[in-house]
Amino acid sequence: MQKILLLNGPNLNRLGKREPDIYGADTLESVEKRIGALAEKYGFDFHAVQSNHEGDLIDALHQAEDDSYAGVLFNPAAYTHTSYALRDAVAAVSLPVIEIHISNIHARESFRHQSVIAAEAKGQIAGFGVYGYELGFYALKQMIKGVGNDEA
Ligand code: DQA
């Protein structure tokens, strides 16, 4: 069975409590459950990792490749704007990585407008709240299984 990894970076363990006016009221646990249920519905194995530590996120990307994951949904959080090491990790793995942001990073403080990850990701989804994870899942599914091939 093909596997999908949901990878979340620093402070996202605080979803629901953290700046709810920006990030909403849903917890990370509820997001992981929802994406896990979708993954199951479409016949994927699913694993979720959250870490506040840059190196752990890099290790998780390497591990996803070593364990033959089919793709990754990745919210690098604040590392999006600063981490060349994570950018290199995304470039280093051959599996598709989709960058996800809950908020519209392009409409916020100027330091958030740049993503150093984006050029190495397959695409970026930002500004649709936690629904962005679902959008990312569908994008990844299409990439892995092909358009209109839901049962495959
Ligand atoms: C975020 C946006 C980042 O700028 C911020 O540092 C986060 C979350 C988002 O999901 O909107 O922690 O990635």
Domains of the chain: 2-106+129-145 (3.40.50.9100)
Q: Is the pLDDT of residue 148 over 90?
A: no
Measured from the Cβ of residue 44, the count of other Cβ atoms closer than 10 Å reads: 23
Instruction: Find out whether the beta carbon of 77 lies less than 6 Å from any atom of ligand 1.
Output: yes
Confidence of residue 134 (pLDDT cuts 50, 70, 90): very high
Handedness of CA 46, 33, 16, 129 (dihedral sign): positive
User: In the numeric block, which tokens belong to residue 66?
Assistant: 């070593």
Min mean pLDDT across 105-119, 121-135, 138-152 is at 138-152
Beta bridge partners of 60: none
Atom of ligand 1 nearest to the CA of 79: 6
Judge whether 101 counts as a catalytic residue: yes
**Angle, in degrees to the nearest 10, between helices 84-92 and 54-66:** 0
> pLDDT tens digit string along 69-113?
999 999 999 999 999 999 999 999 999 999 999 999 999 999 999
Global pTM value: 0.96
Q: For the segment 25-57, what is each residue's pLDDT rounded down to a tens digit? A: 999 999 999 999 999 999 999 999 999 999 999
Given a cut of 90, is residue 146 above it in pLDDT? Answer: no
